[in-house]
Each structure stands twice: as C-alpha cells, then as structure tokens.
C-alpha cells in the first residue's frame, strides 16, 4: 500500500505589535554620523513607512567635539527633509529632538533657551560606552531642573554596567526612562548589549523602543526582529510608551 508523504507545514512567524512612533534615529542628512545625503535619507524614510511606522522623532547627536549641533541646525535640516519627503509622496510625520551627549558642555546645553526635547517632555541622552561620567547623577538632575524628564538612549550598550540589577535600579530611582534599541535583541551591537537588553526586558524596565537607524542595514534587521519571539516578549513584560507620542 502506498502512503503519501505529507510534509509538515512550517509554522508561520507572527509579527509582533506594530509601533507607530519611533523615538530615536539619525535621518537628517549631513548633520551627524547618520544619513550622509538627502537621497539616503529619503530611502530610509521609505523603509520606515514600508514596515508600518507613522511618525518619526529624529534625534541628531549634540556632542560638543564631534557634532556641535544646535536647535537651529537641527530644525533647518528637519525642514528641508520634510519638504523633500512631501515631494516624494512620503506620508510620515517627521519631528525632531536630539540625542545629547553627557560631556563637559552638557550643563550649558540644559541652560539653552531651546532644548531639543522629545514631545516637549523627554530629553534623550547618552554617555561614553566605556566610562561612566563622574557627574552622571548631577547631569540627570539638570534635565529635571530644565523642566524635562530624562530618557537614557540604549542603556544596554554601556559596557561600564557591571551590576545591572543595582545600577539600572539606581537610574530608575532617579526617574530615568529607558529607551532600548530593538536591534540589540538580535545581537546587532554584540553579545553584551544583547544580554543587557534581555535583562531589561525580563525585569520590565523598558519604557521606549528605538530604531537608532543610521543606515539601511539597520532597517532590514529591524523588520526581521518584528517577527521574533523576544520582540513579542517585550510587550508582554513592559509598558511601551512610544505610541502615546502619536
């Protein structure tokens, strides 16, 4: 008797929740280490639109030595990008904040008349990946004194974190919101960053997810991770606030 061979149907991967808002990217051309041309920026915007985003809050670096941007340079760049995106038929809402670097000029930045915040509420900041700033707590307090809430960019990428439970809890006690890069869950920034991202996920400490897109490859890996089990778990374990900014 002939028994036909039945191939077991491959289980289709299910996409996780679709984020409408991204809070961290480098898409304004020729302003930092992100996009280096308007053509590249428009291609990246099309990539975001294709995977379901509706609004991007673009965050160029403000770093005194390498990228001495200001509200003026960022807003001028944003205006040009908005114009070109409209001409291209891209329907994304484009806004701008900044990613502030904790350096010796940070206190001066927080005293500026116009701070490049996210949704007029959060200040996104980063530090050296290797060395924890000596005055990091004072810098976090300076954000509050300026009338904003601190949002730490990619806390999983800081190699100076040796005791995650203790150190991350201390930041939380200081009122810091954590913005984790989605691509960290796929090992894009190395095993240590992936491990710390998983720690933050399991501890329920993640407040925002960011793409931190600088180039096209990061868009491609981002779209793949939307189908991963760990991405689903992020929304089960954490209260993700991105879409409150829509």
Alpha helices in the chain (DSSP H): 38-50, 71-87, 106-109, 136-145, 164-173, 191-202, 216-225, 229-237
| Whole-number Å distance between alpha carbons of 73 and 108 | 17
Whether residue 29 is contained in a domain is answered as: yes
Residue 223 CB-density burial (10 A; 0-12 exposed, 13-18 middle, 19+ buried): middle
Report residue 199: phi and psi, to 5°. Answer: -60, -50
User: What pLDDT was estimated at residue 39?
Assistant: 98
Whether residue 165 is contained in a domain is answered as: yes
Residues spanned by the domain of 162: 21-245
Whether residue 92 is contained in a domain is answered as: yes
Q: What is the pTM of this model?
A: 0.94
| Cα 95 from chain centre | 14
Each of the 246 residues of the chain gets a pLDDT tens digit; together they read: 444 544 555 556 789 899 999 999 999 999 999 999 999 999 999 999 999 999 999 999 999 999 999 999 999 999 999 999 999 999 999 999 999 999 999 999 999 999 999 999 999 999 999 999 999 999 999 999 999 999 999 999 999 999 999 999 999 999 999 999 999 999 999 999 999 999 999 999 999 999 999 999 999 999 999 999 999 999 999 999 999 999
Whether residue 16 is contained in a domain is answered as: no
How many alpha carbons lie under 13 Å from residue 103 in its C-beta half-sphere?
Answer: 14
- Total domains in the chain come to 1
Whether residue 4 is contained in a domain is answered as: no
Whether residue 14 is contained in a domain is answered as: no
User: What pLDDT was estimated at residue 13?
Assistant: 77
In degrees, rounded to 5, the angle at the alpha carbon of residue 106 between the alpha carbons of residues 75 and 146 is 75
| Whole-number Å distance between alpha carbons of 78 and 38 | 11
The pair of structure tokens assigned to 168 is 């991350």
User: What pLDDT was estimated at residue 185?
Assistant: 98
Residue 185 CB-density burial (10 A; 0-12 exposed, 13-18 middle, 19+ buried): buried
- Residues present in the chain in total: 246
CATH of the domain at 116: 3.20.20.140
User: What pLDDT was estimated at residue 207?
Assistant: 98
Q: What is the DSSP string of 129-182?
A: SSS--TTHHHHHHHHHHTT-EEEEE-GGG-TT-S-HHHHHHHHHHTTPEEEEEG
Measuring CA to CA, how many Å separate 143 from each of 110, 118, 223? Answer: 7, 13, 33
């Amino acid at each position: 008797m002939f028994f036909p061979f039945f191939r077991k149907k491959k289980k289709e991967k299910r996409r996780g929740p679709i984020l409408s808002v991204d809070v961290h990217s480098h898409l304004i051309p020729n302003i930092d280490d992100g996009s280096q041309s308007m053509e590249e920026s428009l291609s990246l915007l099309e990539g975001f639109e294709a995977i379901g985003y509706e609004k991007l809050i673009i965050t160029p670096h403000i770093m005194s030595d390498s990228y001495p941007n200001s509200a003026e340079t960022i807003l001028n760049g944003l205006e040009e990008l908005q114009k070109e995106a409209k001409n291209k038929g891209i329907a994304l809402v484009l806004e701008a904040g900044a990613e502030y670097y904790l350096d010796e000029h940070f206190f001066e930045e927080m005293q500026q008349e116009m701070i490049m915040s996210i949704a007029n509420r959060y200040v996104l900041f980063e530090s050296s990946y290797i060395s924890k700033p000596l005055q990091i707590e004072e810098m976090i307090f300076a954000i509050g004194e300026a009338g904003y809430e601190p949002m730490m960019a990619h806390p999983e990428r800081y190699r100076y974190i040796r005791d995650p439970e203790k150190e991350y809890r201390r930041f939380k006690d200081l009122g810091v919101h954590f913005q984790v890069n989605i691509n960290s869950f796929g090992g894009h920034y190395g095993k240590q960053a992936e491990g710390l991202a998983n720690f933050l996920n399991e501890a329920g400490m993640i407040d925002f997810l960011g793409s931190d897109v600088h180039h096209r490859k990061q868009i491609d890996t981002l779209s793949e991770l939307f189908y991963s089990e760990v991405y689903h778990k992020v929304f089960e374990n954490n209260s993700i606030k991105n879409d409150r900014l829509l």
